[in-house]
Amino acid sequence: MDEQPHKHLPIIDKPMREPELLIKKQLPQFDMPIDFLVYDDIRADLLKFYASFPCKIYACIICYVARGSIKATVNLWEYQVKQNDYVVLMPGSFIQIKEVSDDVQVCFAGYSSQFLDKVNFWKIISPLMVNVFKKPIFSLTEDLGQIYHEFFSLMTKCSVFDNVFNSSDIAQSALTFMISTLHNAIAQGLVEIDNKPTTREQTIVSEFLQLAFENYHEEHKISFYAHEANLTLSHFCNVIRKTTGYTPQEIIMSMIIMDAQTQLKGTSTTVSRIAASLGFNTPTTFNRYFRKYTGMTPQEYRCSNTK
């Protein structure tokens, strides 16, 4: 078992094939521009491109690491992802690539938020919901990993025949396959996961994180989250701090700052619009908040080389 993650407030050696060019244009910074995209050979150059700043994704991303390793931050946690690891990133997740080995090869499938709404994604993912919220990386056996590798390769080959294989029904079937088979593999003991019983405190934290990801851009007050958890403010704060090592306010702050950094580096949206999108009444209030936690103003961050 990998040790517990700790918290954390392009080189191509061959000519690009057409699917690789497509991936380079369409790997999501925020969402997928098409319903479904799959590719079995993502290399270090493309992954390093996403190391520039935190990226908030509205798509569902499922990856299999065929070779090499990646150090990445997902939401508030830092992970070392290695060969034969299977990664499920939920819509609304923040991700930032920290380090990538030169030999890395990743198989990738992405589903747009619009597509997920059409197929009732939350019903499909529900069997894995608790596992994914605990830790979105699953260590597979070598044999099982090889099967997933072959599946991604087959889907990549099929994607070339756009008029034959590119349909919503097939995309939904592929998503259901990837989620359901992983759930079955966990039940059969073929996947390495944290089997420790979930405590009441861990449940409170999990529910808080889910609620926070849905509401941090509107609700900054911790009293809101304590009320939703049906706990007194002091008890709620104590549970979160004891279980995670962070106060609820620090967690909300991290989400706000990551979102702001994503918009500042990844879009041309004005600072005033970013401030409004994150629940600040005035740009001045947002500027003070951002500077307090980063040491620079939003505009200074936008113009800097800070990663």
pLDDT tens digits for range 141-154 = 999 999 999 999 99
Tell me where in the chain the CATH 1.10.10.60 domain(s) lie.
Answer: 200-303
Tell me where in the chain the CATH 2.60.120 domain(s) lie.
Answer: 6-192
- Residue 6's pLDDT band (cuts 50, 70, 90): very low
Q: Which CATH superfamily is domain 200-303 in?
A: Homeodomain-like (1.10.10.60)
Q: What is the pLDDT of residue 197?
A: 60
Q: What is the DSSP string of the chain?
A: -PPPPEE-----SSPPPHHHHHHHHHS-SSS-SSSEEEEEEE-HHHHHHTTSS-EE--SEEEEEEEES-EEEEETTEEEEE-TTEEEEE-TT-EEEEEEE-TT-EEEEEEE-HHHHHHTTHHHHHGGGHHHHHH-SEEEEPHHHHHHHHHHHHHHHHHHTSHHHH-SHHHHHHHHHHHHHHHHHHHHTT-EE---SPPPHHHHHHHHHHHHHHHHTTT---HHHHHHHTT--HHHHHHHHHHHHSS-HHHHHHHHHHHHHHHHHHH----HHHHHHHTT-SSHHHHHHHHHHHHSS-HHHHHHS---
pLDDT(126) > 80: no
Contacting residues for 175 by C-beta, under 8 A, at least 6 apart: 36, 60, 62, 109, 111, 119, 121, 124
Cα angle for residues 175, 180, 182 (degrees, 5° grid)? 100
What is the value of pTM for the model shown?
0.67
Q: What is the pLDDT of residue 194?
A: 64
Least confident of 169-173, 245-249, 269-273: 245-249
Q: What is the pLDDT of residue 245?
A: 73
Q: What is the pLDDT of residue 29?
A: 54
Query: What average pLDDT does the segment 125-142 reach?
Result: 85
CATH code, 6-192: 2.60.120
pLDDT(212) > 80: yes
Q: What is the pLDDT of residue 9?
A: 36
